[in-house]
């Protein structure tokens, strides 16, 4: 039995194949495994966000907690709540800094 993936990678063209359903299943498993190995690490690293504490954000903007609450109500800066802890995405904070011209 010839591995379909090795045929694809070899660049062979103009082939007529007689394959069994299990050959297709094996090919699909190999293809999925290959792309999982390449793409999953990229997805995981993109998902890791840097969070800033409420105190850090107040210091960056020179505001009090009431202002942060007002910003949340007006959807200016949305916090991330993990349990009772309030944090803010660094990317959101940086966007707000640019938007407000504080750079």
- pLDDT, one tens digit per residue, over 52-61 is 999 999 999 9
* Residue 83 resides in a domain: yes
End-to-end CA distance of the chain: 63
What pTM was computed for the model? 0.54
Range of the domain at 34: 19-48
* Residue 74 resides in a domain: yes
> Please, is 88 exposed, middle or buried when counting C-beta atoms within 10 Å of its C-beta (0-12, 13-18, 19+)?
buried
Alpha-carbon gap, residue 72 to 49, rounded angstroms: 19
Regions of the chain where pLDDT drops below 50: none
91 with 56, same domain? Answer: yes
- Count of structural domains within the chain: 2
Could you report the per-residue pLDDT of 84-101, keeping only the tens digit for each? 889 999 999 999 998 887
CA angle 60, 62, 64 (to 5 degrees): 115
* Residue 14 resides in a domain: no
pLDDT for 46: 60
């Amino acid at each position: 039995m010839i591995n379909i993936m090795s045929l694809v990678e070899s660049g062979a063209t103009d082939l007529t194949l007689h394959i069994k359903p299990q050959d297709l299943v094996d090919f699909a498993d190999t293809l999925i495994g290959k792309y999982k190995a390449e793409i999953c690490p990229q997805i995981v690293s993109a998902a890791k966000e840097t969070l800033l504490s409420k105190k850090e954000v107040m210091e960056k903007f020179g505001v009090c907690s009431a202002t942060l609450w007002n910003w949340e109500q007006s959807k200016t800066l949305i916090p991330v709540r993990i349990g009772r802890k309030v944090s803010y995405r660094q990317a959101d904070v940086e966007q707000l800094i640019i938007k407000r011209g504080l750079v």
